[in-house]
């Protein structure tokens, strides 16, 4: 089934949808029913989201093997789709690794030949599946002989005796549908081919580039508002072609655009206001040496306490301590950027997704 070209967003805007560059975790039933783009074959649409890569988890219900690939039928409970899984060089070897590996002459001696054969056997076992086994596949969606299928870039057998992986999958996918897939992707274009969201995106990127290139540690709004004037000028020039259109002045638009950009940067943790005063000063998170030192000191000192000596400091504990010692306005997003920067510099190390300790 192909979509109407009038209903599709222009292809130049597809990259603005984050789902386009991700492996979408869709139900197989929806993959089979997606409409194909009339602009670019091989791109499909689910609820106006452009999609060409998917991630599925299901049970193998049929299999075929050829010299260069496997064909697995995968069923996730909503439908069955054919998955074309190409063999790597390892699986094309005439020696399939099923033979018995020769035992080393001395059990205490490491034999690289024996260990390599064991590794090859383990890899082959993960790629050769039987009916009833659980398979995860990531790849691009194709239509071959009028049938929808997945050309796998990654596939492997999932060992899930307690069904923990499947339960987690069944919890994650409905949430992705609610938060992402079922929300319509809308980017309306004006008469000049510009997306309604483009000025804000461009303005945000301009400020980010300025901060990065100039290594700015802090700034005030009037320091950067001149960077956004060309965007406002273009908008005013476009509006002048429509005499009947009335709207806010250029200065008002500039102030509003700058306000929205600064809010986005704060939400992303790129900047923060150490003190909320009438004189608006924005500190650049990754360039604020005082903040970096404060976080590093907190982790180094608290990691020595018995409570945190084993796993390290939890990120919420670090956030609470930073707000007490440095600034109440440090957000979780800003702290995450600081932790990543410190870890890249080998000042701290993560012991889990949420715990950090000092060397």
Q: Are 350 and 356 in contact (CB under 8 A)?
A: yes
CA diameter of the chain: 92
Please say whether the structural domain 288-358 has been given the CATH code 1.10.10.10: yes
Mean pLDDT of 4-11: 65
**What CA dihedral angle connects 320, 323, 328 and 331, to 10 degrees?**
-70
Q: Residue 194: how many CB atoms within 10 A of its CB?
A: 14
CA distances (Å), 54 to each of 30, 122, 272, 333, 338, in order?
A: 11, 26, 37, 28, 32
271: left (phi over 0), alpha (psi -120 to 50) or beta: beta
Domain 198-283 has CATH 3.40.720.10: no
Identify the pLDDT of residue 234: 67
Q: How does the average pLDDT of the chain come out, rounded?
A: 84
Q: What angle do CA 255, 261, 262 make, to 5 degrees?
A: 90
Question: Does the pLDDT at position 351 exceed 90?
Answer: no
Lowest mean pLDDT among 142-146, 148-152, 292-296: 142-146
- Give the residue among 115, 154, 157, 122 at the shortest CA–CA distance from 137: 154
Mean pLDDT over 273-295 rounds to: 91
Indicate the domain borders of the chain.
11-181, 198-283, 288-358
User: Under 8 Å CB-to-CB from 24, ≥6 apart: which residues?
Assistant: 46, 49, 51, 53, 54, 55, 181
pLDDT over threshold 70, residue 282 = yes
| Nearest-angstrom CA–CA distance, 8 and 49 | 9
Alpha carbon distance, N-terminus to C-terminus of the chain: 57
Residue 243 has pLDDT above 70, yes or no: no
3-state secondary structure of 2: strand
Mean pLDDT of all residues in 354-359: 86
Show Cβ contacts of residue 89 under 8 Å, excluding neighbours closer than 6 positions: none
Which pTM was predicted? 0.49
Task: Choose the CATH number for 11-181 among 2.40.30.10, 3.30.429.10, 3.40.50.2300, 2.40.50.140.
Answer: 2.40.50.140
Residue 41 has pLDDT above 50, yes or no: yes
Domains 198-283 and 288-358 share a fold: yes
pLDDT digits (tens, 9 = 90+) for 42-93: 999 998 899 999 999 999 999 998 888 889 999 999 999 999 998 876 665 5
Render pLDDT for 197-227 as a digit per residue (tens, 0 to 9): 567 888 888 899 889 888 899 999 999 888 8
CA–CA gap between residue 70 and residue 127 (Å, rounded): 9
The percentage of residues in the chain with a pLDDT greater than 70, rounded to a whole number, is: 84
**Mean pLDDT on 313-322:** 94
């Amino acid at each position: 089934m192909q979509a109407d070209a009038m209903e599709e967003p222009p292809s130049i805007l597809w990259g603005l949808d984050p789902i386009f560059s991700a492996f979408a975790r869709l139900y197989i039933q929806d993959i089979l029913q997606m409409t194909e783009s009339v602009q670019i074959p091989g791109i499909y649409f689910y609820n106006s989201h452009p999609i060409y890569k998917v991630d599925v988890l299901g049970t193998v219900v049929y299999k075929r093997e050829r010299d260069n690939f496997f064909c697995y039928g995968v069923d996730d409970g909503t439908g069955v789709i054919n998955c074309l899984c190409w063999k790597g060089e390892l699986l094309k070897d005439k020696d399939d690794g099923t033979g018995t590996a020769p035992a080393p002459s001395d059990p205490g001696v490491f034999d690289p030949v024996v260990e390599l054969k064991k590794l090859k056997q383990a890899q082959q076992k993960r790629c050769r599946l039987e009916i009833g086994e659980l398979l995860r596949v990531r790849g691009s969606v194709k239509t071959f002989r009028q049938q929808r299928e997945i050309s796998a870039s990654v596939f492997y057998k999932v060992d899930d005796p307690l069904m923990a992986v499947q339960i987690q999958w069944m919890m994650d996918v409905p949430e992705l549908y609610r938060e992402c897939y079922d929300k319509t992707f809308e980017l309306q274009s004006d008469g000049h081919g510009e997306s309604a969201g483009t000025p804000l995106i461009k303005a945000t990127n301009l400020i980010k580039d300025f901060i990065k290139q100039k290594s700015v540690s802090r700034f005030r709004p009037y320091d950067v508002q001149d960077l956004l004037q060309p965007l406002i000028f273009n908008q005013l020039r476009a509006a002048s072609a429509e005499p009947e259109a009335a709207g806010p002045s250029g200065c008002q638009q500039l102030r509003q655009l700058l306000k929205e950009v600064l809010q986005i940067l704060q939400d992303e943790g790129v900047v923060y206001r150490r003190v909320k005063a009438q004189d608006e000063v924005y500190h650049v998170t990754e360039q604020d040496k005082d903040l970096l030192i404060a976080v590093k000191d907190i982790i180094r000192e608290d990691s020595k306490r018995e409570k945190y000596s084993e796993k390290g400091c939890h990120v919420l504990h670090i956030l609470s301590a930073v707000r007490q010692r440095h600034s109440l306005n440090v957000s979780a997003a800003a702290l995450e950027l600081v932790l990543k920067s410190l870890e890249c510099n080998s000042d701290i190390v993560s012991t889990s997704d949420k715990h950090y300790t000092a060397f």
